Amino acid sequence: MTRHSSAHVISLAVSLLSASAVAPRPLHAATPSEVRSLRGLSGVEVVIENLTDEMQGLGLNAEQLRGEVQSRLQESGIRVLTADDQASGRPWLYVRISAFKSSNVPLVSYYVSAQLRQDVTLDRSPDLHLGAITWDVGAGGLAGVSVIVEAVRGTVQNLAEKFSTEFLTVNNRR
């Protein structure tokens, strides 16, 4: 292959990737004990970590993502709590999005994590209450700049669906 044709193949590959998203790949999934930690929850608050200026510049919107996650949970019959609700354990589903745009090619690598955080008590010190991550999943991928919003939204929705499914598995709802 000549140098000119190699450059052409690379250019074509970058163009194809920039026009589509590579399917997100789960990097880690909840363990059985993490799933059991969802048992008995009355619902969850949804918190989307503040997005960086770069992520917002790509078109990501935290409020839109939060609304989509809340809708998915409610469609599953899971109660969405507010910060004012006094639910036992103060459970909240925390979604964090990281993205990195290369300056050389029109691609963005991204990673989305979803964690259930709640108050826990130590067996050895029942009077001590701490916040802990009791359920944790994540997925990431590579997407073209033109489709990064759809790729991230799809990944967030997939993780919300996974949470809903596992929540319902241990809470006998649906």
Tens of pLDDT, residue by residue over 120-137, are 998 899 898 899 999 999
Q: What's the chain's average pLDDT?
A: 86
CA distance 133 to 136: 7
When pLDDT is cut at 50, 70 and 90, the band that residue 16 belongs to is very low
Cα distances (angstroms) measured from residue 85 to each of 45, 88, 128, 134: 9, 9, 21, 20
DSSP letter assigned to residue 93? E
8's tokens? 């052409």
- Among the residue ranges 16-20, 86-90, 168-172, the one predicted with the least confidence is 16-20
CA distance 171 to 80: 15
Q: How many CB atoms within 10 Å of residue 17?
A: 17
Residue 13 pLDDT greater than 50, yes or no: no
DSSP letter assigned to residue 21? B
When pLDDT is cut at 50, 70 and 90, the band that residue 52 belongs to is very high
Q: For 54-93, write each residue's pLDDT tens digit.
A: 999 999 999 999 999 999 999 999 999 998 988 888 999 9
Q: What share of the chain is helix, strand, coil (3-state, %, to 5)?
A: 40, 35, 30
Percent of the chain with pLDDT over 90: 66
Q: In the prediction, which pLDDT does 47 show?
A: 97
Distance of CA 43 to the CA centre of its chain: 18
CA distance 121 to 128: 6
When pLDDT is cut at 50, 70 and 90, the band that residue 102 belongs to is confident
User: Which residue(s) pair with 137 in the sheet?
Assistant: 114
Q: How confident is the model over 104-121, as a mean pLDDT? A: 94
29's tokens? 């999934």
Residue with more model confidence, 99 or 10:
99
Q: Report pTM.
A: 0.82
CB 98 within 8 A of CB 111: yes
Percent of the chain with pLDDT over 70: 83
